Amino acid sequence: MTVANIQDILQTLPSRYRGPGGAVAVVKNGELVGELVWGYADLRSRIPMAPSTRMPICSITKQMLCLILKDLERNPTPEMAKRGNVSRQLADGLGQLVPRELIEDTGLRLDHLYNNQSGIRDYWAMSMFWGTQPEGEFTLADDAKKALGRTKSLHYQPGTQYSYCNLNFHILARVVEHVSGTPLGELLAERLFSPAQMKTASLCADNARLPPPCVGYEGDESFGYIPAINRTQWSGDAGAVASLEDMVAYERYLDQAWADQQSLYREMAQDPSFEDGTPARYGYGLERMKFGQIATIGHGGAIRGFRLHRIQAPSERLSVVVMLNHQADAAAVAAHILQEALGLPKQQPLTCNPSPHWTGSFFDPDAQLVVEVRLGGPGQIIVTYTGDDEALNLVDECNAHSGSTTATISADSLVLHRIDDNRHIHAKRIIASQPPEDYVGQYHCAEVDSTFHCSGAGGMLYGSFDGFLGQGPAELMRYLGDDVWVLMCARGLDAPAPGNWTVVFQRDDHGQIGSVVFGCWLARKVAFIKQ
């Protein structure tokens, strides 16, 4: 690996991942060995992208919050030290800040939050039920408190599974602030940004007031690029802003920390596990992946108009940072750079023919979610379960796998092992049919304080929701069969949106519709009663 080789790899990126602009860097052995900045921070004003251009780094904030949490455990504030046991203070803070229903008889702990094993439903997904518009406002002072107050049950037992949840880190940040008596922005500045020499990084919780000049863009070349509108407030689950220069300083800081076996970062990077002892791949806001035999840790970030990713291969002392002001796949960009820089071979799918049974829609009765499968490129199938498409390579005509999922098809039965989630899924094919005409009506969920309106006729239904955030847009629904529909949600308060929601209408003993259950991977089993 040479600096010239790295620069050659980076020079291909602008045309390979086309869009308004971007900034990438490669750090090796604690030194910057490759950097490329291209395009425009603001297309309309023709302001070029620069290494000093700040962008929201979104969910990369989560690991920074966890660094603050661990630092407070080791180096408590004077007031925290006076009160004694810091771990007890933090645990008590959790109990004081969340609804008692989340704590009583569940065993919910702080580590379930930062390992994304809490079973709490994601509040950005749930905002659909509360009547949000995609460009709607969401405030920390008011709306976040109302959202947490309406979060009174879990969609699985803490510690048994993994699912991504921004609310976990929102709660964690409020616990940190409550126990330390210090705003998160000050803690980040004093305990991370200053020692890491991230000179222009800061917490900017209000996405409507991001620092100029960078603009995030929705759209593509065929549709056109449109300035993205963000009016949400985050603090902990996201909220930090930084430039490429800041992120290079962060990677250098983490490289130095890795050399110290007793560092906070080393402690955070230890492999987590589920309650049953099964190794987990997510902990302290860090995702663990392997490229060949090389272990990596990192995380992505996204809001509407921005995509970011940082990834580190500690054994190689190599880090990659990708920052885009458009919605190309930043994780794919980072993976491409890492694989090329390390000279890793590309895995070629087998060219066997897939079984004809693969394609179709399947129903996971445990999570009440739809799994959709279609054919991909040669030797591949595409599985959609979490809202994203996942490509699995065929092993033979009835078995396929990726780095995180294995799949087996047998006639109308689909078996998935989702390794990251710690779940074995046994799904049955949904038999397509013509939809009945008795779904239209009004439904209510008392727990989340939401009303669902189902309207339409002739097999074309629409769904919309009313809640404390207002009256949401009508979204299109598509019938699959067996009283199972999907409700499309391509744009939500957060971006990317949850995607298609599974909608399961339930009948009573007389065959009448009595209720409907909604779910997506981020928020499952939300039941509404017909009024």
Domain range annotation of the chain: 6-119+154-342, 360-429, 441-530
Residue 304 carries which DSSP code?
Answer: T
Question: Any residues with CB less than 8 A from the CB of 49 and at least 6 apart, and which?
Answer: 21, 22, 23, 37, 38, 39, 40, 41, 214, 325
Whether the Cβ atoms of residue 368 and residue 121 lie closer than 8 Å to each other: no
pLDDT of residue 1: 64
Residue 59 a catalytic site member? yes
Distances, alpha carbon 374 to alpha carbons 200, 359, 380, 410, 485, in Å: 46, 5, 9, 15, 18
Domain 6-119+154-342 has CATH 3.30.420.40: no
Measured distance CA(370)–CA(385) in Å, rounded: 7
pLDDT of residue 28: 96
Measured distance CA(114)–CA(252) in Å, rounded: 24
How would DSSP label each residue in 478-520? EEEETTEEEE--SS-SSSS---PEEEEEEE-TTS-EEEEEEEE
pLDDT of residue 457: 94
Q: What is the CA radius of gyration of the chain?
A: 23
- Extract the tokens encoding 170: 């929102």
Q: Burial level of 188, CB count in 10 A (0-12/13-18/19+)?
A: buried
Whether the Cβ atoms of residue 263 and residue 234 lie closer than 8 Å to each other: no
How would DSSP label each residue in 256-268? HHHT-TTSHHHHH
Question: Any residues with CB less than 8 A from the CB of 502 and at least 6 apart, and which?
Answer: 368, 369, 370, 484, 485, 486, 518, 519, 520
Helix residue ranges, H only, 207-318: 244-258, 264-269
Query: At what angle are helices 86-97 and 166-180 packed, to 10 degrees?
Result: 120
Question: Any residues with CB less than 8 A from the CB of 134 and at least 6 apart, and which?
Answer: 473, 491, 492, 493, 497
Buried b vs exposed e over 58-76: b needs ≥16 C-beta within 10 Å? Answer: bbbbbbbbbbbbbbbeeeb
- How would you list the strands of the sheet with 31-42, edge to edge? 47-48, 31-42, 21-28, 318-324, 306-313, 294-303, 286-291, 282-283
Query: For the chain, how are helix, strand and coil distributed in percent, rounded to 5?
Result: 25, 35, 40
Question: Which of 59, 118, 127, 355 is the catalytic position?
Answer: 59
Nearest to 498 by CA among 524, 474, 476, 472: 524
Residue position matching structure tokens 């949401």: 472
pLDDT of residue 497: 85
pLDDT of residue 23: 98
pLDDT of residue 8: 94
Neighbouring C-beta atoms of residue 194, cutoff 10 Å: 12
Q: Do domains 360-429 and 441-530 have the same CATH topology?
A: yes
Distances, alpha carbon 64 to alpha carbons 35, 53, 67, 169, in Å: 23, 20, 5, 11
Residue 190 carries which DSSP code?
Answer: I
Peptide bond connecting 213 to the previous residue in cis, omega within 30 degrees of 0: yes
pLDDT of residue 498: 86
Measured distance CA(42)–CA(228) in Å, rounded: 12
Question: Any residues with CB less than 8 A from the CB of 224 and at least 6 apart, and which?
Answer: none
Buried b vs exposed e over 441-470: b needs ≥16 C-beta within 10 Å? Answer: eebebeebebbbbbeeeeeebbbbbbbbbe
Peptide bond connecting 279 to the previous residue in cis, omega within 30 degrees of 0: no
Q: Give the chain's residues under pLDDT 70.
A: 1-3, 349
Question: Which of 28, 45, 52, 62 is the catalytic position?
Answer: 62
CA atoms within 13 A on the CB side of 452: 29
In three-state secondary structure terms, 222 is: coil
Q: Give 242's strand partners.
A: 55
Measured distance CA(65)–CA(192) in Å, rounded: 9
Q: Specify the pTM.
A: 0.96
Q: Burial level of 488, CB count in 10 A (0-12/13-18/19+)?
A: middle
Measured distance CA(362)–CA(480) in Å, rounded: 9
Domain 360-429 has CATH 2.40.128.50: yes
The third-level CATH classification (topology) of the domain covering 441-530 is: Lipocalin (2.40.128)
